Amino acid sequence: MNNKFILIVAIQILLLLSITLDCSAQKKEKPLIDTLDNAFDLSHYLYDLHGFLPVISPITEPAVGYGAAAAGMYFIPKKKSNDLKFQMPDIVGLAGGLTANGTWFAGGGYFGFWKKDHIRYRGIFGYGDINLTFYGSENPAKFSISTYFLLQQAMFRLGDSRLMLGGKYQLGKSTITFFEDSDIPGINPFDLDMVNSGIGLISEYENYNNILSPTKGLRVNLSYDQYLEVMGSDRNFGRFTLFSHFYQPIIRKKWIAGFRMESQLATGDPPFYMTPFLNLRGVPVMRYQGELAALVETEQEIMLTGRWSIVGFGGYGRAFKSLDSMS
């Protein structure tokens, strides 16, 4: 624990030194001030994408209560090419969060956009102590899941097309503690302390106008994850995931419509906390679970001014205990 703490502190010091040098070099540019209205603005980072950017975001997930997450992202710009086309920088980030019910998490990651965005790499590690509720028994049961997580993923563009193919490796170590009864109907005792290790295959089409905050474009992702005992997993199981995000301006700079579709199908015998569930805003995590889960959701953003907007959203989904129950 001490070594991890020292490492995190060292990284933060390096990031702070970097932002100090970066701001000194660009002092005249006032990177956090918009030259049009002299208001606080982050567009300098979102357009040019270089230097250090701190981010604070509220957590409103009903399953864990209100809270906040803080992150620091450092953008590593690419060398300018002869054609002067924009190249997405690599991103290094650290993040952590805390909520009202005692849930907390911390982690970091590296996101690489290599070979002029022909290769996209993602490496993530983290730890979380998360307090949730299991609804699969007659009486909802509160539990805590302490988990370590590691992800290694790489995707490769097919020529100069918008289609990418790739794979990933995932490793997780989870320990479950129920706050009341230890014998919960519907829970396999072996689920309470498990190692999940496996590989995945990914195919994706994406033509967003902005990777970080798109306002127009389509993303379709189909993946299959298989956890394998031969790779150190305590159990063999898998999951198909299909999702699609679509953004379309209805009135330019005034109204942006977003649509989301997602479906997950479990194979084998996954632990209860990795069984597909409806991931809808406003619905607690794991509230509706089953062998198959499918949903649709829409988000409508109306710009009130050049800086302020209101967002409304709604969705519908269903979780099926088994494929037989669909008939």
| Helix (H), strand (E), coil (C) string for 275-296 | CCECCCCCCCCCCCECCEEEEE
Torsion sign, CA atoms 293, 296, 302, 303: positive
Question: Which residue in the block uniquely carries the two structure tokens 């490492």?
Answer: 7
Give the mean model confidence (pLDDT) for residues 192-201: 97
pLDDT at 124: 97
Give the pLDDT confidence of 75-96 residue by residue, as tens digits.
Answer: 888 877 776 677 888 999 999 9
CA 167 from centre of chain: 17
pLDDT at 307: 77
Return all residues near 283 (Cβ < 8 A) that are at least 6 apart.
Answer: 62, 317
Give the pLDDT confidence of 236-257 residue by residue, as tens digits.
Answer: 999 999 999 999 999 988 999 9
Considering the chain, what percentage of its residues have pLDDT values greater than 70?
A: 82
Contact between residue 270 and residue 237 where contact means Cβ atoms under 8 Å apart = yes
Torsion sign, CA atoms 208, 211, 212, 218: positive
> Does residue 22 surpass a pLDDT of 80?
no
Give the mean model confidence (pLDDT) for residues 147-153: 97
CA distances 154 to 84, 112, 167, 203, Å, are 26, 9, 6, 11
State phi, psi for 293 to the nearest 5 degrees.
Answer: -135, 135
180 by DSSP, 3-state: which?
coil
Report helix, strand and coil shares of the chain as percent, to nearest 5: 15, 50, 35
Pairing of β 51-59 and β 292-303: unpaired
> Does residue 178 surpass a pLDDT of 50?
yes
48 by DSSP, 3-state: which?
helix
pLDDT at 54: 86
Angle at 275 between CA 273 and CA 276, to 5 degrees: 120
Give the mean model confidence (pLDDT) for residues 49-58: 82
Give the mean model confidence (pLDDT) for residues 129-149: 92
CA distances 304 to 79, 253, 301, Å, are 38, 10, 10
pLDDT at 111: 96
pLDDT at 32: 63
pLDDT at 151: 98
Range with lowest mean pLDDT among 16-20, 34-38, 46-50, 89-93:
16-20
Question: Which residue in the block uniquely carries the two structure tokens 């060398």?
Answer: 79
DSSP state, residue 190? G
> Does residue 25 surpass a pLDDT of 70?
no
> Does residue 39 surpass a pLDDT of 50?
yes
- The two tokens of residue 184 are 């919960």
Give the mean model confidence (pLDDT) for residues 137-149: 91
pLDDT interval class at 58 (50, 70, 90) = very high
Helix and strand element counts for the chain (H, E): 2, 13
> Does residue 45 surpass a pLDDT of 80?
no
Size of the chain, expressed as the number of residues it contains? 327
213 by DSSP, 3-state: which?
coil
pLDDT at 83: 67
16 by DSSP, 3-state: which?
helix
Give the pLDDT confidence of 268-295 residue by residue, as tens digits.
Answer: 999 999 999 999 998 999 999 999 999 9
Mean predicted lDDT score pLDDT of the chain: 86
Give the mean model confidence (pLDDT) for residues 44-62: 79
Q: What is the 3-state secondary structure (H, E, C) of 139-179?
A: CCEEEEEEEEEEEEEEEEECCCCCEEEEEEEEEEEEEEEEC
